Amino acid sequence: MNCSYIHLDRKPNLEKEVLVTYLVTPQDGGSLIKAAENIAAESSVGTWTPVGGLSSKIFDELAAYVYEINDETRIVKIAYPLNLFEMGNLPQLASSVLGNIFSMKEIKALRALDIEFPTDYINNFNGPTLGLSGVREMMGIHDRPIVGSIMKPKIGLNPKQNAELAYQVWMGGVDLIKDDENLTDLSISPFAQRVAEIMEVKHKVEEETGQTKLYAFNITGPIDLMIKRGELVADQGGRCIMVDITPVGWAGVQEITDRFPQMSIHGHRAGHAMFSRSPEHGQTMLIVAKMARLAGIDQLHTGTVVGKMEGEASDVLPINNFLRSKWGNLKPVMPIASGGLHPGLMPDLIKILGSDLIINFGGGIHGHPDGSRAGAEAARAAIDAAVSGEPLTQAAQRCPALARALTYWSN
């Protein structure tokens, strides 16, 4: 039986195969072709030694194969028969093409760059229930970025203080507020009490402004607790919950998106850089974004380019463009720019990333020298000006809070 995993003359079939692009670094002195072959074997039907049960039929139907190798770039492309994967099961997919292959001794480093899926595989997932357009419809905002804010300090406020701060930034022009990634149900801020206090303030603000406001409550935890927290938010009239997708894992994310189709699911990517930051090893944020869209996330943190987090335009733009593009029957996802943003960065941010996104401010609102409400006013004024093409210095002439922010963060 010919059990070769190398077929450089074979053309892959995206309608019947999952295609994965890897950057492969063999051990010093090792063969790229041999490393590629071992990756294809280990991630499909092979192992380290021949086994009697691997028949020609099984191999021909289920073996992955390498269809492209570039010796200069070390790019290797592998095709996986669709029958290797359980439909609708993201953890099983990850265990296959993002699993043991990263631990093999003959490989010094391995980075998964991209995964392309057959339409049949994509459409087997529900994807986002609301998606980008649903989030906009919920907010009643269609022609500008959604203005977001993170509560700061991220931990330390009690529920009443949190609600009072939420009132100030909502009244200052913020649309969506979120818990920080490490705020869940803590002694200083019990989850149920925080939800009750904030929802009371939310209703008050909506009555006073006539505008829809959202709060993304962080329900991250074991699956049973996430479900209880999500139900509590729903019972209080909340429409948005947040999940830290990397710590929770794809099983948890899929469970939550399936359980709460009426909710907008805000996906925080805390921890993604453990495996996405190295240029030689791990997986790209683009793959995370694809998995998150399959799992049903409506809003996803993707990067700012101009803020404090790593991620150049060449990294972030393809991710955002993918999230907003047509992809099988799945709805587009709303990208989120968050991390180290302040009003003075808005013209560059919107020029690079466009207006179809959520822009989250933390310190860029709460660090304003005149307080959080002034910070919210400055952020909103800066976004409105940037969208219209008006120079911020001109907008600042009628918005003292923006003028103060531009001076304060000028350096």
The three-class DSSP label of residue 100 is helix
Choosing from 77, 152, 272, 368, the catalytic residue is 152
Alpha-carbon torsion (102, 105, 107, 109), positive or negative: positive
Q: How far apart are CA 71 and CA 32, in angstroms?
A: 7
Let me know how many helices (H) and strands (E) the chain has, helices first: 17, 13
* Annotated catalytic residue 152: yes
Find the distance separating the first CA and the last CA of the chain, reported in whole Å. Answer: 68
Q: Which amino acid is at 354?
A: G
Alpha-carbon torsion (114, 115, 118, 119), positive or negative: negative
Tokens 């994310």 — which residue?
Answer: 253
Count CB neighbours of 133 within 10 A: 14
Helix (H) or strand (E) holding 180, with range, is none
Q: Which amino acid is at 176?
A: L
Q: How far apart are CA 363 and CA 369, in angstroms?
A: 11
Q: Note whether 216 and 180 are within 8 A (CB).
A: no
Nearest C-alpha neighbor of 359 from the set 392, 320, 330: 320
Length of the chain (residues): 411
Biggest CA-to-CA distance, the chain: 79
Choosing from 266, 268, 272, 331, the catalytic residue is 268
Q: How far apart are CA 79 and CA 119, in angstroms?
A: 15
Q: How far apart are CA 391 and CA 250, in angstroms?
A: 43
Q: How far apart are CA 373 and CA 367, in angstroms?
A: 10
DSSP-assigned states of every residue in 321-365: HHHHS-BTTBPP-EEEEESS--GGGHHHHHHHH-SSSEEEESHHH
Residues assigned a catalytic role:
152, 268
